Amino acid sequence: MSSKQAIQSDNAPAPIGPYSQAVKVGDTMYLSGQVPLDPVTGELIDGDIDAMARRIFDNLAAVMAAAGGSLADIVKLTIYLVDLNDFAKVNAVMAEYFQEPYPSRATVAIAGLPKGAPVEVEAIAHF
């Protein structure tokens, strides 16, 4: 039986609740949802949806690096959007961070997110 290991990166925001940034079990890692928080201040960044999506993918990359991986190891993403009109912009930013074969993905419209964020992304990775 595989044991679970909490993954922590100082280059990503500290959790704002009783959870880990990620948990690795065997060759699989489950990354908690990231909203566009500045890793230093823990506050929502200023900027448009593009800047916020980049902050999220940078935060996810930092957590992946702490586990010895990269965004290329992500096999599944779930994107939560408060406004589905932001879908195309988040897609465009995602294309800057991922290459084929792209991870599988779901996009979900949601009424609200922590700290008033307009977007959140969670992931599953396999090494």
123: part of which helix (H) or strand (E)?
A: strand 119-126
- The answer to whether residue 70 scores a pLDDT higher than 70 is yes
The letter for the amino acid at 45 is I
* Mean pLDDT of all residues in 59-86: 98
CB 113 within 8 A of CB 119: yes
Domains in the chain and their CATH numbers? 4-126 (3.30.1330.40)
Q: What's residue 45's pLDDT?
A: 97
Q: What's residue 16's pLDDT?
A: 87
Summarised one tens digit per residue, pLDDT across range 85-114 is 999 999 999 999 999 999 999 999 999 999
Looking at the whole model, is its pTM more than 0.85?
A: yes
- The answer to whether residue 1 scores a pLDDT higher than 80 is no
* Mean pLDDT of all residues in 55-73: 98
Q: Across the beta sheet with 22-25, what order do the strands follow?
A: 4-7, 22-25, 28-34, 119-126, 74-81, 104-109
28: part of which helix (H) or strand (E)?
A: strand 28-34
Summarised one tens digit per residue, pLDDT across range 38-62 is 999 999 999 999 999 999 999 999 9
- The answer to whether residue 2 scores a pLDDT higher than 80 is no
CB 26 within 8 A of CB 2: yes
Q: How far is CA 49 from the centre of its chain?
A: 14
